[in-house]
């Protein structure tokens, strides 16, 4: 892809394109800088966003903030799977290919977000030090056996994935000014949902740390975590919603839709602050 040619093509129909893009020199400098620094993937997005900004849209710094928030969550997930896969005897052999797939995706998300932030002229946040025991750095939190007990590992995995889905969902509206970034975020969001569904399926099959009498499914029923500890409950509170946009989905139009069905049919967002509160114990200062 020759980015300079793209600009020249646009110049034919809009002679003022360079002025709109802060002048030719600045544009070429940015493009050269991008192509040297980042994966090709980020360039079209950067270009598109640059145009949107120049042609009247605003909010690049807000978009970068959202992407850095997402990056922090992807760092959390990515390292969690790298460490889990490296822990001898932790992950059941039958599940190993799935966790390799999930790990690869999370690492790709980290790379994609870093590239995109750089392409937008932002600075990717540094990866925090994580405490997967949820001890806030003590390394002796309630999930102290997270890398030695598969039941705990799966419970934390499911919680991260379900929380990730809710976190992206909560940020979609903040990306509405950029079609390309919103599209990318949605495409990550649904991957996290696929991951969540599969980890829930793993837990359904082996029953580890699933409360008695709970039938764990790939979707979220009411505000049930399906995990036998109240520690993860904040990641599920609010999922019990059965009224959407003022429409009560229970028994809607005479159909036999239960509260369980209605809650499962719609996943709910979390605010950035809610997510940060959930994640805080996993960050070692």
Partner 1 sequence: MSNEHFDKKILNAGIFPAAGMPRRKFLTVAGLSAGSLMFAASCKKELGDDPQLTSEAHSLGGGSDGGKAVVNLGSGDTGILNYAYALEQLEAAFYIQVLATPYSGISDKEMEYLTDVRDHEIAHREWFKNVLGNARIGGLIPNFTSIDFSSRASVLGTAKALEDTGVSAYNGAGELLQSATYLLYAGKIVSVEARHAAAIRDMLSYGSFADSTAVNSMGLDLYRTPPEVLAIASNFTYTKIISKNLPTS
User: If binding is defined by CB under 8 A, does position 269 make contact with partner 1?
Assistant: yes
Q: Residue 50 interacts with partner 1 (CB under 8 A)?
A: no
Q: How far apart are CA 236 and CA 216, in angstroms?
A: 14
Contact flag: residue 102 with partner 1 (CB under 8 A): yes
Number of residues in contact with partner 1 under rule CB under 8 A: 61
42-47: long-range contacts, CB 8 A cutoff, minimum separation 24: 42/112, 42/115, 42/116, 42/118, 42/119, 43/1, 43/3, 43/119, 44/1, 44/180, 45/116, 45/119, 45/180, 45/181, 45/184, 46/116, 46/119, 46/120, 47/3, 47/6
User: In this chain, which of 187, 211, 237, 271 binds partner 1, going by CB under 8 A?
Assistant: 187
CB of 265 to partner 1, least distance (A): 4
Q: Is residue 265 close enough to count as binding partner 1 by CB under 8 A?
A: yes
Q: Using CA atoms, how far apart are residues 178 and 44, in angstroms rounded to an integer?
A: 12
What span, in angstroms and rounded, lies between the C-alpha atoms of 192 and 25?
40
Minimum separation from the CB atom of position 84 to partner 1 (A): 17
Cβ–Cβ < 8 Å for 132, 84:
no
65 touches partner 1 by CB under 8 A: no
Question: From the CB of 44, what's the least distance to partner 1, in Å?
Answer: 12
Is the Cβ of residue 183 or residue 280 nearer to partner 1 in the bound state? 183
| Of 107, 104, 94, 102, nearest in space to 202 by CA | 94
Question: Which residue number, 139 or 173, has a Cβ lying nearer to partner 1?
Answer: 173
Asked if residue 37 binds partner 1 (CB under 8 A), the reply is: no
Stretch that binds partner 1, among 79-87, 148-156, 227-235, 243-251 (CB under 8 A): 243-251
Candidate segments 53-61, 62-70, 106-114, 129-137, binder of partner 1 by CB under 8 A: 106-114
Q: How far is the CB of 178 from partner 1 (least distance, A)?
A: 8
As a whole number of angstroms, the distance between CA 178 and CA 61 comes to 12
- Return the beta strands (E) in 142-282 as ranges: 243-244, 247-248
Cβ 199 vs Cβ 158: under 8 Å: yes
CB-wise, 226 or 281, nearer to partner 1?
226
Q: Is 219 in the site for partner 1 (CB under 8 A)?
A: yes
Phi, psi of 56 (to 5 degrees): 115, -15
Distance CA 171, CA 177 (A): 12
- Residue 76 or 134 with smaller CB distance to partner 1: 76
Coil, strand or helix at 244:
strand
Which of 249, 270, 275, 279 touches partner 1 (CB under 8 A)?
249
Is 57 one of the binding residues for partner 1 (CB under 8 A)?
Answer: no
Residues that bind partner 1 (CB under 8 A): 41, 97-98, 101-102, 104-109, 111-112, 165, 168-169, 172-173, 176, 179-180, 182-184, 186-198, 201, 215, 217-219, 244-245, 247, 249, 252-258, 261-262, 264-269
């Amino acid at each position: 892809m020759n980015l300079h040619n793209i600009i020249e093509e646009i110049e034919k129909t809009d002679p003022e394109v360079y002025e709109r893009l802060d002048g030719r020199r600045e544009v070429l400098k940015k493009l050269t800088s991008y192509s040297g620094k980042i994966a090709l993937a980020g360039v079209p997005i950067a270009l598109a966003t640059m145009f949107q900004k120049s042609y009247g849209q605003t909010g690049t710094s807000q978009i970068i903030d959202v992407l850095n928030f997402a990056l922090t969550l992807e760092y959390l997930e990515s390292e969690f799977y790298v460490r889990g896969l490296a822990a001898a005897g932790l992950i059941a052999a039958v599940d190993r290919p799935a966790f390799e797939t999930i790990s690869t995706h999370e690492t790709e998300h980290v790379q994609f977000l870093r590239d995109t932030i750089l392409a937008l002229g932002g600075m990717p946040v540094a990866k925090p030090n994580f405490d997967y025991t949820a001890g806030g750095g003590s390394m002796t939190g309630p999930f102290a056996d997270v890398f030695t007990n598969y039941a705990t590992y799966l419970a934390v995995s499911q919680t991260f994935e379900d929380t990730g889905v809710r976190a992206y969902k909560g940020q979609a509206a903040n990306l509405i000014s950029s079609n390309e970034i919103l599209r990318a975020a949605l495409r990550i969001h649904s991957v996290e949902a696929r991951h969540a569904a599969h980890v829930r399926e793993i837990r359904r099959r082996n029953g580890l740390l699933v409360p008695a009498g709970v039938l764990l499914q790939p979707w979220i029923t009411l505000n049930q975590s399906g995990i036998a500890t109240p520690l993860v409950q904040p990641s599920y509170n609010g999922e019990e919603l059965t009224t959407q946009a003022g429409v009560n989905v229970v028994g809607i139009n005479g159909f036999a839709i239960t509260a369980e069905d209605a809650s499962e049919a719609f996943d709910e967002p979390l605010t950035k602050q809610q997510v940060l509160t959930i994640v805080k114990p996993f960050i070692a200062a």
